[in-house]
Amino acid sequence: MPTYIMILYLSTVLVIIFTATWYVFKRRGIDPRTDPDAPISVNYFPSRKCNYHCGFCFHTETSSYILPIDEAKRGLLLLQQAGMRKLNIAGGEPFLNPKFLSQILQYSKEVLGLESISIISNGSKIRENWLEEHAKWLDILAISCDSFHPETNKKIGRGTDGGNVTRLFQIAAWCRKYGIKFKLNTVVNIYNWDEDMATEIQNLAPFRWKVFQCLIVAGENDDETRKTDARKFLVTEEQWQTFCRRHEHLDCYVPEDNKHMASSYLLLDEYMCFLDKGEGMMTKSESILKVGVMEAMKQVVWDRKSFVERGGIYDWSRPELFMPDQSNGCNGAIGDIDSEELQW
């Protein structure tokens, strides 16, 4: 047999063996993305700095620290290698650091190849030219919206100019224009629990509307010695249920009460330490940059069952084929990812 044929034959055999081995590993759950202990979805707070002063905030501006970009990328690589599929960037206000944010988006999508990257913002610093330039790396943009009344937003601490609603509709239109999934987040509190938001939500047509019950986190917003005191923003169970009943007919509506919020999120702070905001004082792990992802995860509580039950797994990627200005409406989800895929 000629040498070149022998080389071709051996190369083909090696490819077949490698492919078969990968398939077996994947079926057995060895692929880190499907490992039950993998950090499937991570909420990263690269900075605590914010230009708003929401009275119930549980991640207040206690420092102005932000990691050097190379260290942040190293941490994200560790998370991706451990099985992270979705990265959610929150704060603080992420758009106060636009260069850092741009670098994280590009690296996470082009180098790490993450399935989904989302940002949570108050919307005050978002500009169309930024979205146009970065849309190719951004799957979801979530805007925090607690009221459609300027005076209510001022009472809550969401700015002082009363322009939140105007910006909100503008950002929703930009998202449709550039193919970014538009999402809303609302915290039900003492100032908005009796507000009917159904008409505005239908007009905005988010693909997902997350509605949170105002939450107390010990050590962050639990008394007058903290930067925020969320106790005066709390609602009763009846007030919470009243808001839920008023909006539950909306297809995009996804409620989260305190029980499901407490330990169902993997939170990563500005030092890349996991945060545990369950019962008692908020605790944190050692940095993943120091001890690695899996060791750091052992030092906090992450309730995987609650993560799935609250809808933590959903259609979080942009459609492969996008038609400009095409709105999916209030029930814009294309189809949920099967939670059984994670073997939970």
Higher pLDDT, 197 or 309: 197
Higher pLDDT, 192 or 225: 192
Q: From CA 78, how far away is CA 342, in angstroms rounded?
A: 20
Asked if residue 100 belongs to a domain, the reply is: yes
Q: What's the total number of domains in the chain?
A: 1
Nearest to 307 by CA among 237, 273, 341, 256: 256
Express as a percent the part of the chain with pLDDT over 70. Answer: 75
Pairing of strands 41-44, 267-268: parallel
What pTM value is reported for the model? Answer: 0.82
CATH code for position 224 = 3.20.20.70
- Name the pLDDT band for 110 (thresholds 50, 70, 90): very high
Express as a percent the part of the chain with pLDDT over 90. Answer: 57
Asked if residue 306 belongs to a domain, the reply is: no
Say if residue 168's pLDDT is above 50. yes
Cis? peptide before 162, omega within 30° of 0 = no
Torsion 140-143-147-149 (CA) sign: negative
Asked if residue 150 belongs to a domain, the reply is: yes
Higher pLDDT, 69 or 36: 69
Lowest mean pLDDT, pick from 22-26, 69-73, 253-257: 22-26
Pairing of strands 116-121, 283-287: unpaired
Q: Kindly state the average pLDDT of the residues 322-332.
A: 49
Range of the domain at 327: 38-261+320-342
Contacts with 162 (C-beta within 8 Å, 6 or more apart), sequence order: 150, 151, 153, 154
Higher pLDDT, 13 or 235: 235
Asked if residue 309 belongs to a domain, the reply is: no
The residues annotated with a catalytic role in the active site are: 50, 54, 57
pLDDT for 14-51, tens place per residue? 444 444 334 333 433 445 556 778 999 999 999 989 99
pLDDT at position 128: 97
Nearest to 279 by CA among 296, 311, 301: 301
Higher pLDDT, 42 or 158: 42
Would you give the DSSP letter of residue 112? S
Q: Kindly state the average pLDDT of the residues 300-310.
A: 85
Instruction: Pull the structure tokens for residue 149.
Output: 């009344």
For 26-32, the CB contacts below 8 A with 24+ separation are 29/343, 31/83, 32/81, 32/82, 32/83
Asked if residue 273 belongs to a domain, the reply is: no
Higher pLDDT, 240 or 228: 240
Nearest to 137 by CA among 96, 91, 89: 89
Nearest to 144 by CA among 63, 212, 227, 240: 212
Contact 316, 118 (CB under 8 A): yes
What's the mean pLDDT when you consider all of the chain?
Answer: 82
Q: From CA 32, how far away is CA 38, in angstroms rounded?
A: 6
Asked if residue 132 belongs to a domain, the reply is: yes
Asked if residue 16 belongs to a domain, the reply is: no
Sheet holding 140-144, edge to edge: 253-256, 208-213, 181-188, 140-144, 116-121, 86-89, 41-44, 267-268, 273-276, 283-287
List the alpha helices (DSSP H) in the chain.
Answer: 3-27, 69-82, 98-106, 128-134, 150-156, 164-178, 198-204, 237-247, 258-261, 288-291, 293-297, 304-309
- Name the pLDDT band for 270 (thresholds 50, 70, 90): very high
Q: What are phi and psi of 73, to 5 degrees?
A: -65, -40
Q: From CA 249, how far away is CA 320, in angstroms rounded?
A: 29
Contacts with 228 (C-beta within 8 Å, 6 or more apart), sequence order: 53, 54, 55, 56, 57, 58, 60, 220, 221
Q: Kindly state the average pLDDT of the residues 139-156.
A: 95
| CB count in 10 Å sphere of residue 340 | 8
Asked if residue 302 belongs to a domain, the reply is: no
